[in-house]
Structure formats: C-alpha cells, structure tokens
Structure 1
Amino acid sequence: MKTDNLRKLRADRVWLTEDSCDLGDFRKVAEKTTALADYPTADAVEKNILIYDSAKVVAAIASPEGRRAVFAEICEAFGEGPGVVVFKRAYRDTGVIDCASAIFDEIIEEQHRTATGGGDHFAKPGANDRIWNSLEKHCLADPENFAEYYANPIVAIASEAWLGPSYQMTAQVNRVNPGGAAQSAHRDYHLGFQSSKVIERFPAHVHRLSPVLTLQGAVAHCDMPLESGPTLFLPHSQTYEPGYLALKRQEFKDYFETHHVQLPLEKGDVVFFNPALFHAAGTNRSTDIKRVANLLQVSSAFGRAMETVNRERMSAKLFPALKALRGKLSETEIGNAVAACAEGYSFPTNLDRDPPLGGLAPKTQTQLMHEALEENWDDARFLSALAQQSERRLS
C-alpha cells in the first residue's frame, strides 16, 4: 500500500493534468501584490505591473556592477515577480517607429491585394492584420531603418536579462482594426501552442522550462488608449506551474475575464513579459484607431539541436523501409523509429505559407509520416507531400 501511494504521489508530481488544476491554488499566486520597494530601478507600479523609465534603465547599466544589478532585477521581475514590465519611452525618436510603420502598412496592403498573410493563433480570422516574420521583411525592405529600430538598448537589455547572450530575435506585426475582437486568454510559445492532450505528455520540469526559452515583447507603434484594446494581463499568473493546462478550463478563463488588468501605452513604449503569463490582446472599441504593435518573440540560444540533420532526406528513405517492416515491428516500435527520424515540432516555419490552420500549430513532418503510413500512401505521394511541406517552411 505504501509503495502504491508513493508511485501515485510521484506520478502526480511529474505528470500535470488539466483535471488537477485548482482555482484556489491559482488565486494564491495570482493575487499577490507587486511591491515597488523590491525593484529599486523601477519608477512605479500600476495595476500590479512594473513601470520603468527607459532612460533611467540605460543610465543605470553604465557600470559593470550596475549592469549586473539591473539585469538581475529585470530577470526576477519576469520570473518570480509580476511577469510583465512596461518600459516607457523606449524609443525616444519615434520617427524610427513611424518609418517602420510605413513599411508595415505597405506590406499589409500588399497582403490585401494578393489575399495572403493574416491568421492568428488566438483570435478569430479577420479580427486583425498580421505580418508573419516582420523581422526579415523589415530588414529586406529598409536595412537602415531596421538597424536603427533593433539597435534599441531596451530591447537588448530585456532580452539578455531573461535569456542571456546570443538570443535569437523574431517578430510579427499585429494590427487590430476598430471593432477587432479580443484574443482568448492564453500562454505563449512553446507549450502554449499545444493542446491539453499534448501538454499532458510533457513532465512537469518541461512546464517549468518552456517559459525560460522565450521572452515576449511588444513595441507600441501608436498611442494605445484603453478603448483601443491594449494587451490584457494577469500579473503573477506565470508562477502557477500547471497554467498551460489551466487555461483550457472555463473557471480559469472566467477568472481572467474578471481579474485581468490593462494599461494604456504611448507610441515608443515597449512591454516585455514572461510567455507563461496569462494574457490576451484586447478588443479595439475605438472608431478610428488602428492599434499596431510589433510583437517580439525572443528565443534562447539553447533552443536548438547540436547537429544539423537533413530530416527530409532521412524521412524519404525511412518511409518505404517502415512499410516493409510492418508485421516485424509493432506500431509502437514504428512510432519510435519515426520519432528518431522525422521533425516532430511545427516550428520554426514560414507562417505565411504554413499557417496554423485548424489548430494552434502547423502539421509536423512526424504527423505527415504517420498519416502516410496509416493511409498506406505510395512512395511517390509521400515524397511529393514531404517536399511540399519542406518548401512551405522555407523563408
């Protein structure tokens, strides 16, 4: 009996489930108060969110000791603190923002003309205009403006404070037009893009790992009064370990709807937040404000494998071999072989050509191979589908 109880306790610690999420436990962490005294470089706390004056932050890191202290403060703000920080006037020269906005407007207009682009992981189709991979498109359109834009010290400070050096920048522009509806409350990349069924397969330490692999940010490209629907946040919610599963439950969605906070932003402000923070873009209730933000998704240098592997070439070779081995290998063993060969993750990809249709993430190479095996495709059909999938993922 004692052994059985130990096994259950261990399994419950390692395997988080949607059913085990408890709103009472969640409220204990989500209803904490952010104390300004704990963050000496910050200027204020508004609605439990830390507010920093960007010029003050830049001045404070002038010495090595100051840099370590400020980076540590910001790191803890993202981790154990409120999980969200607003940097006021991060772009003092908003002309840099205006130039970038003009580039983004041209890209959106081109998307309208060609019926391309768009899509959103957590909003209804048509609620906004989306530019996937705005980072690369921006750089190719105007490298000088790109350089001035990403030379911004606050973007670098926040990114390195949370992720360390050698981080990887990606970005997507989101323009929510007047009347554009809010997103559903969510956590973000990585686990936030998966279904409960998938999330429950990852042990608890991966739930803790996912938030430290990325940092979310947003550069305000216009003034964002509350009526325009700036992002809704639930400070401190990132510290609830089973939170990736909790937001699949209605009581947690309801709690977010009644307890979230929202701050107006000005053009040139930047907000950064832990990707595990419960958040959602708000409804644009204005009649004339096109709310534009460049969404920064910064990734850890460690979010990649050690070796370059041509998994498309491997999958093409393995597929006919697996068909021939049916009967000798069980379905589970075939699945193990596929896992060692094919790309099992949807990202990175080209979301213009490989959008998350019918779910939060595009079909993986692994899913394609399983589909082909289950439906007994001939080799030519699989090779064609495999090549098309690989082509869609290219920039």
Structure 2
Amino acid sequence: MSDQLMDEMFTCLASGPGVFVVKRCVEDLDVLVRANAAFKTIIDREREGAGGSKGDHFAEAGRNDRIWNSFQKHAEVDPESFVKYYSNDVLALACEAWLGPGYQITAQTNIVKPGGKAQQPHRDFHLGFQSPDVVARFPLASQVASQLLTLQLAIAHTDMPLDSGPTQLLPFSQQFEHGYLAYHDPQFAQVFKEKMIQVELEAGDAVFFSPALFHAAGDNRTVDFERSANLLQVSACWSKPMESVNRDAILRNAWPYIIKHVSSQTDGVAASSSQALLKAICDGYSFPTNLDKDPPSDTGHCPETQLEMAIQAAANKLSADGLEEQLATYAEKRKA
C-alpha cells in the first residue's frame, strides 16, 4: 500500500497538478499547541536581541514574524514536542516518494499578521531564488532538474480561512519548462492572479507541492487573526539545503525523548514513526567524507551514514555520554 501511495504522490507532483493536501497530517493538535508556544518563545527572544528587521522571501522585511531554521530552534526550546512533531510517518512517506532516501529537512516558521500583503507569485529554491540573469546561465535541462531536488510543504499551525490568505497556487504550472524565468514577467503575474486557486485549511493540515509550482502567500484580510504555518523545505541527499542545520546538536538535545519514543513503539527503532523521526533529524547520505579515515565498508561502496549510526545507537538505547562519544568519533573521521 505504501508503494502505491508513494507512486501516487510522485505522479501528482511531477505530472499532475503539482500539489496535494493531507488533512490532519499532524493529528495530535496538542503537539501544535506546544510547537506554537515554542515558536512564540523563539520570536520573543529574537525580537529582544534583534538589531533590525529580518529579511524575508518575496515579502517586505519586518512585515511578518519569520523564524529562520525553526527546525533546530524547535529542538532546542522544546525537544519533547519536536520529537512528537517529526515522528510523522506521513511526512516521511511523502519526502521519500519525491526525493528518495537520505533527504534532509529544514524549516522556517512564518506568521502573517492582519493586513499582511500577498507575495508576488514565484517559484522556490533552488533557481527560484536567483535573479533572471543567473537563471539564464543554467541550461534548460538543469532548470527542469532543479525542481526534482526539493519538496516544499506548509503545515498549518492555525486554521486558515480564505480571508486569512492561505497560499495561492497555480495547478500544473510546475510543468512549464521556462517557468524560472517566466515568473519575473509582470504579464505572467497577471495571469497568475486571474487563474490561481486557494484552499481553506485547518490546523494540522499540510500542503505538499513542487518547488516549481507557481505560488504566493495570500493577503491576510482579517483584522485580528494571525495566520501561522511551518514551512518545510526538504532537500534530496545530493542537493544543497538552503540552511545550515547542526544535526549533532539536535540529536544531543532530543536524545532522551528519542529514546523514550523508540521505547514506546512496539517495533522499537524499526517502527515507521521512529524511522521517520531519525530520518528527519539525521544526515542519511555518506558523502562528502574523508575516504582515508572513513573508507567504504567491506560489504558496500559507501561509508556509514549519520542516520545508520543513530539508528543503531537508538536500538541499543545508548546513553547521552555514549552518543556524545559516537558523534565525536564520527565527526573526526569525516574531517579533511
């Protein structure tokens, strides 16, 4: 059944409308409440220490509340709710359906305040963040390949009635080969405005879409409602993520709760939610590494990944000190 579902997800993103919604992707709404509390703590801390407005993607700086790298920061502020949030087998299924194994998750939280204006229609990372002059230097085959390296999704952390401005989407637009140049054209922006759709969401719903799908956050036309979403950007193992994430630090902070979660599962570390959690946190690809100190195993061509190391450590219920020792050894042998 999972293979059939993954095939359907891939087809939807590649040659279908380019977007699908999973209702109640986060089923436990208490987890969202705790995550929102963690995000508020992060926003308050960063506002107190900020030297000015933060930059934003496709929106005026300072207009919204934006948390860069909410993935790692969530794990630092509330590791228990982080573990519950990312032990999500539906999320893991969709990521692997589009990107294969070894994907890497990053996340940014965006809270759009009442009166917040819509973004300009655009495509996303990689080439969606480059200027037209830079995009034009890439051959068309690379432009098309770019969209296969990333999966975008937005998890609704509040309900999103249409007046609050849920994401505007142009179904099937990911199939337009010249789209990374076209979205800069004002005439295309007008077409987008006329043809786009929006989907009303409830808290816990998730919208998965191709990064090449033309989209834009909508106008928040309410007077008293803040629209909140966690925006996940998932990269293929051979793609450079947008943000640097200290995955060792996440493992350290969350380790007691990781062990608790694994122990609570009937199948232990083999349970789908345990696998989803560790895949979300860890680097599941062997390279780059120092092959002098970190050679391939006797049974394959690739050295051990951080994910494989963490799965074994969780199966053995390794202590925090034991984990620290393994992380240090693993990091040392990969240094140039």
For 1:313, the equivalent position in structure 2 comes to none
Partners of 1:118 and 1:128 within 8 A in 2: no
Alignment partner of 1:108 is 2:27: no
Give 3-state SS (helix, strand or coil) of 2:142's partner: helix
Give 3-state SS (helix, strand or coil) of 1:68's partner: helix
For 2:198, the equivalent position in structure 1 comes to 262
**Amino acid paired to 1:250:** P
For 1:364, the equivalent position in structure 2 comes to none
1:234 counterpart (126, 145, 170): 170
- Cα distance 1:224–1:237, how it changes in 2: closer, same or farther (>3 A)? same
- Cα distance 1:96–1:74, how it changes in 2: closer, same or farther (>3 A)? same
Distance across 1 between alignment mates of 2:151 and 2:99: 8
Deviation at 1:108, TM superposition (A): 1.0
Over residues 254-277 of structure 1, what are the superposed CA-to-partner deviations in whole Å (9 max), with x where a residue is unaligned? 100111100110001011100000
Partners of 2:109 and 2:231 within 8 A in 1: yes
For 2:24, the equivalent position in structure 1 comes to 89
For 1:277, the equivalent position in structure 2 comes to 213
Distance across 2 between alignment mates of 1:97 and 1:256: 32
Distance across 2 between alignment mates of 1:251 and 1:212: 26
Query: TM-score w.r.t. structure 2 length?
Result: 0.71
**Amino acid paired to 1:217:** L
Distance across 2 between alignment mates of 1:232 and 1:127: 18
- Higher-Rg structure is 1
Distance across 2 between alignment mates of 1:279 and 1:162: 19
Distance across 1 between alignment mates of 2:209 and 2:160: 18
Distance across 1 between alignment mates of 2:119 and 2:40: 22
Share of identical aligned residues, percent?
Answer: 51
Alignment partner of 1:294 is 2:230: yes
For 2:147, the equivalent position in structure 1 comes to 211
Alignment partner of 1:128 is 2:91: no
**Amino acid paired to 1:98:** V
Over residues 304-340 of structure 1, what are the superposed CA-to-partner deviations in whole Å (9 max), with x where a residue is unaligned? 5xxxxxxxxxxxxxxxxxxxxxxxxxxxxxxxxxxxx
Distance across 1 between alignment mates of 2:67 and 2:78: 16
Partners of 1:83 and 1:274 within 8 A in 2: yes
Distance across 2 between alignment mates of 1:128 and 1:348: 20
Distance across 2 between alignment mates of 1:90 and 1:349: 26
Distance across 2 between alignment mates of 1:288 and 1:348: 32
Distance across 2 between alignment mates of 1:110 and 1:139: 15
The alignment's C-alpha RMSD in Å is: 1.4
Distance across 1 between alignment mates of 2:12 and 2:197: 17
For 1:250, the equivalent position in structure 2 comes to 186
For 2:9, the equivalent position in structure 1 comes to 74
Distance across 2 between alignment mates of 1:98 and 1:347: 27
1:148 counterpart (81, 84, 90): 84
Partners of 1:132 and 1:171 within 8 A in 2: yes
Over residues 55-94 of structure 1, what are the superposed CA-to-partner deviations in whole Å (9 max), with x where a residue is unaligned? xxxxxxxxxxx11111001001011000011000112210
Partners of 1:237 and 1:277 within 8 A in 2: yes
Higher relative contact order (CA 8 A, sep 6+): 2
Distance across 2 between alignment mates of 1:288 and 1:184: 23
Query: TM-score w.r.t. structure 1 length?
Result: 0.60
For 1:168, the equivalent position in structure 2 comes to 104
Alignment partner of 1:193 is 2:129: yes
Deviation at 1:347, TM superposition (A): 4.7
For 1:320, the equivalent position in structure 2 comes to none
Over residues 22-60 of structure 1, what are the superposed CA-to-partner deviations in whole Å (9 max), with x where a residue is unaligned? xxxxxxxxxxxxxxxxxxxxxxxxxxxxxxxxxxxxxxx
Structure 2: runs of 5+ lacking an equivalent: 246-336
Deviation at 1:119, TM superposition (A): 2.0
Structure 1: runs of 5+ lacking an equivalent: 1-65, 305-345, 351-395
**Amino acid paired to 2:195:** H
Give 3-state SS (helix, strand or coil) of 2:174's partner: helix
**Amino acid paired to 1:71:** M
- Cα distance 1:71–1:274, how it changes in 2: closer, same or farther (>3 A)? same
Alignment of 1:375-390 (within 5 A): none
Over residues 219-263 of structure 1, what are the superposed CA-to-partner deviations in whole Å (9 max), with x where a residue is unaligned? 100000000011000000000000000011111011001111001
Pairs aligned (count): 244
